[in-house]
Amino acid sequence: MAPLVERSLLLLLLLLSPFVASAGILELNSSSPLFGIEFPPFNTAVADPGCDGKLVAAGDERTQPASQPSPSLKLHMTRRAAEAGGTRRDSVLDSARKDAVRIETMHRKAAAAARAGGGERASYSPRRALSERLVATVESGVAVGSGEYLMDVYVGTPPRRFRMIMDTGSDLNWLQCAPCLDCFEQRGPVFDPVASSSYRNVTCGDARCGLVSPPEPAPRSCRRPGEDPCPYYYWYGDQSNTTGDLALESFTVNLTSPGASRRVDGVVFGCGHRNRGLFHGAAGLLGLGRGPLSFASQLRAVYGHTFSYCLVDHGSDAASKVVFGEDPLLLAHPRLNYTAFASPAAAGDTFYYVQLKSVLVGGERLDISADAWAVSKKDGTGGAIVDSGTTLSYFAEPAYRVIRQAFVDRMSRSYPLVAGFPVLSPCYNVSGVERPEVPELALEFADGAVWDFPAENYFIRLDDDVMCLAVLGTPRSGMSIIGNFQQQNFHVVYDLKENRLGFAPRRCAEV
């Protein structure tokens, strides 16, 4: 483990390295329908003219005005359907089991970051962004441990389509790569670096190599810093990890205009030759965490400091959206509310921490100790985060017990309790009731912001007869997590320039 000063220098070097869009506009041929990317009329590539730091459009000598806001790039995001023959109850229980593995991983990551050393996060001021936005559609489905929302990404030259998990709780972008020495089953072929003319290994002497852990147990050797590849090891849970070579590659996304696309060159990603865990069906993972290797951080040089997503409800066939850059419609939303991000548990931490103050049930503030929301100074665990890859919402055990009892006390006696239902509690018999009435739930943050949720975001109907509270507890040392089920039909924005989280109720199928 490098000393703190060396790690900070490596982080700074990466943040200052240029990640710019290619001038090439490629054509994609596919027999299957493609989810598109919607660009505004300005659609030129990025070029860096030199040391003055000014960005100009390729083929255009005019610089972009510094005061011009960064528009957004919108992409589709869809949710995978449950496996054939499975019920919604089976799907939720499976999600809860995989959430448990993910939460244990988060505990370990937070503790490891705290042991590695604290200190302030390196500041990051994005370069002037081009006047365009990126908006994508994401597919969501049965939870797969590290995230359940999927994006179509085209990688390499010529570009080939891969479906990648979108995850705000991790940083590294990676694909299963040939030769696949130990890989999980995925739909379609794995990525073959030999078949791509734009593939380049990150060498072991590159500063970016210091941002990933070497394979265990042997330390990384680097006899030829400018030639030898950079091997990496990245873990998610007890059985979930990826090992391979850190590399640079072109990532292409297709536009809504037929046959048009945008390519971004030099994206750092992991070419995974040994991959195990809860990723079945996906080709790899697209990290949107706070770290410098995440896809969101790498696109920040072009699209600015903001990204957001809007998740349709779990039962919908419509596509969700993820937006890189600012969304004017969201910024103009009359009910857009912000809360400041809390300080991370340690410098370089992946997670998006928020500072919870209290929980309101039925309009009443519950008696929960402030210690339930605090990050442990001893080992870095605890605190509260917002996460797209965890399905349900989880609260530290002392807080969860109070929340659960509050619902039991305030729930209408016309809905009988269902005893012995696995994992979730309390559960109620709501047979014959189309829209049961439940107490309101809201989260209050330390700066006064309040996030109110509709009933369908914290109660889940598993069949015609049973409805359960979609909230669970974690051990006292565990962190609290606002999961994606609770975020349904909210446009959630991560503004890293102002260091704040925004949320506004929206019909996400219409975004």
Active site residues: 167, 387
Judged on CB neighbours under 10 Å (0-12, 13-18, 19+), 159 is buried
Q: Are 491 and 511 in contact (CB under 8 A)?
A: yes
Residue type, 40: P
DSSP 3-state of 18: coil
Q: Which of 116, 128, 136 is nearest to 291 (CA)?
A: 116
Helices (H) and strands (E) in the chain, counts: 5, 29
Give the 3-state DSSP-derived string for 410-436, with helices as H, strands as E and coil as C: HCCCCCCECCCCCCCCCEEECCCCCCC
Residue type, 258: P
Q: Which of 154, 133, 426 is nearest to 307 (CA)?
A: 133
Q: Please state, in angstroms and rounded to a whole number, the distance separating the CA atoms of residues 154 and 12.
A: 29
* CA distance to 81, 245, 254, 289, 363, per residue, from 172 (Å): 25, 12, 22, 8, 41
User: What are residue 261's DSSP bridge partners?
Assistant: 254
Helix, strand, coil share of the chain (percent; to 5):
15, 35, 50
- DSSP letters, 375-409, are BPTTTS-B-EEE-SS--SEEEEHHHHHHHHHHHHH
DSSP 3-state of 209: helix
Judged on CB neighbours under 10 Å (0-12, 13-18, 19+), 47 is middle
